[in-house]
Amino acid sequence: MTRLPASSSVSAAPERPGRPAPALPAALTGLLRALIPHACPGCGQQLGRAAGLCAPCRAGLHVRLETHSPLRATPAPHLITLGRYAGVNRRAVRELKFTGARDLAGVLGGALADGLPAHWNIQAVIPVPLHAARQRQRGFNQADLLARAIARPHGLPVHAALTRTLATRQQARQHAADRDNLHGAFTVNARELPRGPLLLVDDVLTTGRTLIACRDALLQAGVAPDDLSYAVIAR
């Protein structure tokens, strides 16, 4: 397992048509953060002008290049993470998903971007989609935010190549015997499916069922198994 250093900054990238308006200027955003007290989700200390995580928690982010997961039958480097779904990682994921702390996507996605192996030669990034009903409820898709933060420093396109057609409960909150069958839960948008090596992005890898269902949909659409790599915050 290889550990790579993580960076705390993510460069800006142009928004695609139909996306939310660009963020406020950095100076104004920093001033607002300083005026409105907000605790770091990682450790509880005040963030001040920092975005997402405080400096010590950012310094603790280390990218892991993993060779074993349910996503691949034979051991080979195919997955980057920031470690276990515990501690700072777990608290940050929950803050991003359930309180709408979107600054965290830039911090966590930027850390993953720094550990993206160049030899993977990734040509495009694909986020795992939410079902339309859940995205309306939440107001955003955390995997899409992470995908854009990973893609931005590398100048990579982000493609909405998958659609979630089956609404299911959150897999991580269910007992093993009760987990939903995700076979056929995703369809591929052929017009959005690029060629070449692809990076599939989600927030966490727990049971693996969601990413496996996405992987299977892409394989059935003609993507070669060796052209798929993966990135998650934690597992």
**Partners of 124 in the β-ladder:** 198
CA 159 to chain centre: 14
The larger pLDDT score, comparing residue 151 to residue 184, is at: 151
Q: What percent of the chain has pLDDT over 90?
A: 66
For 155-226, strand residue ranges (E) read: 162-164, 186-188, 198-201
Which residue has 């603790």 as its token pair? 60
**Is the backbone of residue 44 left (phi > 0), alpha (psi -120 to 50) or beta?**
left
| 39-50: average pLDDT | 89
Residues 152-188 have pLDDT tens digits of 999 999 999 999 998 776 644 544 444 456 878 999 9
If residue 66 lies in a helix (H) or strand (E), which one and from where to where? Answer: strand 62-66
Q: Is the pTM of this model over 0.85?
A: no
